Amino acid sequence: MPYTIRVLLENLLRNEDGHRVTRDQVEAVLAWGSEHAFSVAVDIHPARVFMHDTNGVPSIADIAAMRDAMHEIGGAATSVNPQIPVELVVDHSVIADVFGSPDAFERNVEIEYERNAERYRFLRWGQTSLRNFDVVPPGKGIMHQVNLEHLARVVVADQGWAYPDICVGTDSHTTMVNGIGVLGWGIGGIDAEAAMLGESVNMLLPRVVGVRLTGALPDGATATDLVLTITELLRAHGVVGKFVEFYGEGVRWLSVPDRATIANMSPEFGSTCAYFPIDEETIRYLRFTGRTAERVALAEAYAQAQGLWHRPDVVADYSETVELDLTDVRPSLAGPSRPQDRVALAEAPSRFRGALAEASPVADPAMAVPAILDGSEHKLRHGIVGIAAITSCTNTSNPSVMVTAALLARNAAQRGLRSKPWVKTTLSPGSRVVTDYLDAAGLTPFLDQLGFHLTGYGCMTCIGASGPLVPQVQDAARTDGLTVVSVLSGNRNFAGRINPDVRMNYLASPPLVVAYALAGTMETDLAADPLGHAPDGTPVFLSDVWPSSSEVAEVMDTVIAPGMFTAAYAGIFTGDARWENLGQVTSDRFGWDPGSDYLRRPPYFEGMSAEPEPVADVVDARVLVMLGDSITTDHISPAGAIPVDSPAGRYLAERGVDRFGFNTYASRRGNHDVMMRGTFANVRLRNELVPGVEGGFTRSFAEDGRVRPVYDAAMAYREAGIPLVIVGGAQYGSGSSRDWAAKGPALLGVRAVLAESFERIHRSNLIGMGVLPLQFRPGESARRLGLTGHEVIEIRGVAGLATATTARVRADDREFDAIVRLDTEREREIYHNGGVMKLVLRRLQKADNGS
């Protein structure tokens, strides 16, 4: 039996109660591998919930609103509390406003507190007013690296029980802890709220794909190159909704940071998790990162006693297998807009030119925009690197790639090379340990010389908090239509995500990020062309400055010590003076400020009845947006900067907020009025109702077909009493586990989404908000059925969805059946209650009344 399925089996056996967890569920796991087993839904009880601030603030706001609603329907507000441990890391709010200077870190933190003090005070209220809720304050690191290096238990010891640390998180990269044998995965913020309140996580028993690794990485190939290769391989194989486990002799050559780098990218190849079983390397890592001797001993003894210790001589009976020879991995990038689109380093320039011609067929390849930078005149051309960012939990958690980057920076600086003046260079590690070992190795000054000064301990560029470009580059992009590129060591490069002025984004290892900052353009073939020239005119090539693997290993062995982890994580839940000076208020119910621009009482419970209302069919509906394939949650609910001329920007300006204070959509997720206006507001969205138009616009059939911002059109439909549907293509809702990608459409009046296929987390989020996911039957699509999005839509049979597996859709004179993607009885129950939060609140109210 695969190791991940053994963990699920233990969880079901320990929680079997004959009601939520039944004997039938246990029997299904014992029959794992049969077709019947894969049709059975099981109820898993996680050990803890993990979240970051931009998803955590709205989740805690929902808890606060539930306390209000509980009080209003006659229950006790204080009965609404997390029932299992919940940890929140503040890592998603710091923005790379200041860069390239020694004080960049300090200034960015000051700005962060200035912008987000209200949100942070709210989190302090939650920390003191809610049980089982801890907050890691700003500046401590990125949540997944903090989880890997410190918070993850691996094995929980709780009131006489020992059991596996199943961790569910509101960020899809929660899978990073799979690298140390923790079964963790991302769930939507809506499901996370239910889990916090004691609800189980309901899921179909998954298939498990075994990935056999052989050989070892060749010299010059990094863990980043490996993970981009795996992402391409598994996305092509198809692992959506499946568990992935790694095995084979190649695994033993991978360090825990390498394993964690792979596991972190699980959402990019689409799997629910990407698991490495517990073995000797796991135990070494736990000991090295400062876990107590008792915790380390428990993890080893428990794993061996429970059959969770990796036995390389036994191959599990996997549903499917995939093989990869590590010796075949070569230096790579991925882009320009999807993590699975791997590009061999030598092919990067030609692939860029092809992508440019496809994205901007009228663009003049020879266009040159003059700009004065650092006192000299330069010609800015398509493909210039506007951002070079060492960023994200994925790669800054891995000392081998970080030390490689720093040594490359040293070698380049010593030869007189410097980053090009049009490149915004940033370093935002996921842990203070990173800067500690770079300082100890004496390598920090060389990164500084190339402009890679520390900008903050947070996600920053990886989640779109990249801040503005160099002004001349920003002007060239906006005024002249210059195609600007970013190169980042992150995990996502979706269109419009990194920066609104950057059209193409490439994922790369930290050393390649440094190399592209030196080259300054995607037109440079790093495998053959010089990165630059020494002061004497000598060309300097990548091979000249790339450090050997033995030198990297020597630095790591010399400077990285367990005491660094112990020191970095001492007082992890205690903030600096800025955090402590926010003050704290403890109360049963949160005091909402009606004038707040960041925190508004969520409207989900307004007018809620004690019993669910009957479900009704959808009639006389209109299509709000009609979308193509691979629509991500970033397309639906962007996280980056709020544009001045957007509905959200105009709303904030009307309320007296200056442009500097707009902040990001991610930071405004506690205000539904902003987020509704930001729904489908991605500057790169392409809506087939308005062909040739890019951005958050649609055609409003409530206003004679006028082209309007999506929010304005939705309000016109609401005024006219017209329900809405969304039509999409394949892989609808891929990307981040963003609850606002479901909350936003629900609040705009969307009743159903009809797509060719759904990404797992987003489909769950839609159900959690009472939005019906419908799927075209195999071989059918909007295009094949001749739908234009101009039709009046009816969805019949919704009232009978307690048992129905299809619904009848009528679009003007066309009729067809669509598959109802309510895959389990629990999902049907949630949908009939109008969403999971209403279901949970009704249960809590009944329990509070003793009924």
pLDDT tens-digit map of 780-792: 999 999 999 999 9
Structure confidence at residue 446 (pLDDT) = 98
608, part of any domain: no
Tokens of residue 654, six digits: 């009307």
With residue 826 as reference, give the H or E element that holds it: helix 825-832
Distance CA 741, CA 324 (A): 35
Name the band, by pLDDT with cuts 50, 70 and 90, for residue 102. Answer: very high
CATH of the domain at 99: 3.30.499.10
Please state the rounded mean pLDDT for residues 733-756.
93
CB 363 within 8 A of CB 498: no
pLDDT digits (tens, 9 = 90+) for 575-603: 999 998 888 789 999 999 989 999 999 99
Q: Give residue 483's domain range.
A: 332-560
661, part of any domain: no
Check pLDDT > 90 for residue 462.
Answer: yes
596, part of any domain: no
Check pLDDT > 70 for residue 636.
Answer: yes
474 and 485 share one domain: yes
CB 91 within 8 A of CB 141: yes
35 and 52 share one domain: no
Residue 802 has φ and ψ, to the nearest 5°, of -60, -25
Considering the entire predicted model, what is its pTM?
0.88
How crowded is residue 709: how many other Cβ atoms within 10 Å of its Cβ? Answer: 21
Distance CA 725, CA 794 (A): 10
422 and 291 share one domain: no
| Average pLDDT value for the chain | 94
194 and 252 share one domain: no
316 and 375 share one domain: no
Name the band, by pLDDT with cuts 50, 70 and 90, for residue 191. Answer: confident
pLDDT digits (tens, 9 = 90+) for 510-531: 999 999 999 999 999 999 999 9
Distance CA 412, CA 29 (A): 55
644, part of any domain: no
626 and 752 share one domain: yes
Check pLDDT > 80 for residue 360.
Answer: no
374, part of any domain: yes
Distance CA 639, CA 54 (A): 9
CB 531 within 8 A of CB 541: yes
Residue 147 has φ and ψ, to the nearest 5°, of -60, -50
177 and 216 share one domain: no
C-alpha torsion 838→840→843→848, nearest 10? -100
Name the band, by pLDDT with cuts 50, 70 and 90, for residue 850. Answer: low
State the helix-helix crossing angle for 280-288 and 293-305, rounded to 10 degrees: 170
Please tell me the least confidently modeled range out of 61-70, 257-266, 772-781: 61-70
743 and 814 share one domain: yes
Residue 708 has φ and ψ, to the nearest 5°, of -140, 160
Please state the rounded mean pLDDT for residues 11-23.
94
705, part of any domain: yes
850, part of any domain: no
410 and 439 share one domain: yes
Q: How far is CA 20 from the centre of its chain?
A: 30
- 374, exposed or middle or buried, with CB in 10 Å at 0-12, 13-18, 19+? exposed
Check pLDDT > 90 for residue 278.
Answer: yes
Residue type, 136: V
Check pLDDT > 60 for residue 818.
Answer: yes
721 and 630 share one domain: yes
Q: Which residues pair with 278 in a beta bridge?
A: 309
Please state the rounded mean pLDDT for residues 789-805.
88
From 517, 543, 560, give the residue that closes a domain. Answer: 560
CATH of the domain at 296: 3.40.1060.10
Distance CA 826, CA 467 (A): 42
Tokens of residue 414, six digits: 């010593």
Please state the rounded mean pLDDT for residues 169-190.
94
325 and 446 share one domain: no
DSSP-derived letter for residue 283 is H
Ranges assigned E (strand) in 438-503: 485-488
Check pLDDT > 90 for residue 703.
Answer: yes
Distance CA 844, CA 851 (A): 10
Distance CA 163, CA 39 (A): 26
- Residue 56 vs residues 131, 548, 560, 644: alpha-carbon distances, Å: 15, 42, 32, 26
Q: Which residues pair with 811 in a beta bridge?
A: 793, 814
From 147, 169, 204, give the residue that closes a domain. Answer: 204
Check pLDDT > 80 for residue 731.
Answer: yes
From 204, 223, 242, give the residue that closes a domain. Answer: 204
Structure confidence at residue 221 (pLDDT) = 96
CATH of the domain at 821: 3.20.19.10
Please tell me the least confidently modeled range out of 154-163, 275-284, 733-742, 795-804: 795-804
199 and 227 share one domain: no
pLDDT digits (tens, 9 = 90+) for 305-337: 999 999 998 999 999 999 999 999 999 999 999
Structure confidence at residue 804 (pLDDT) = 79
pLDDT digits (tens, 9 = 90+) for 234-269: 999 999 999 999 999 999 999 999 999 999 999 999
Please state the rounded mean pLDDT for residues 619-640.
95
Work out how many domains the chain is built from and give that number.
5
Structure confidence at residue 361 (pLDDT) = 67
Distance CA 338, CA 494 (A): 6
Structure confidence at residue 806 (pLDDT) = 93
848, part of any domain: no
CB 772 within 8 A of CB 795: yes
Structure confidence at residue 362 (pLDDT) = 67
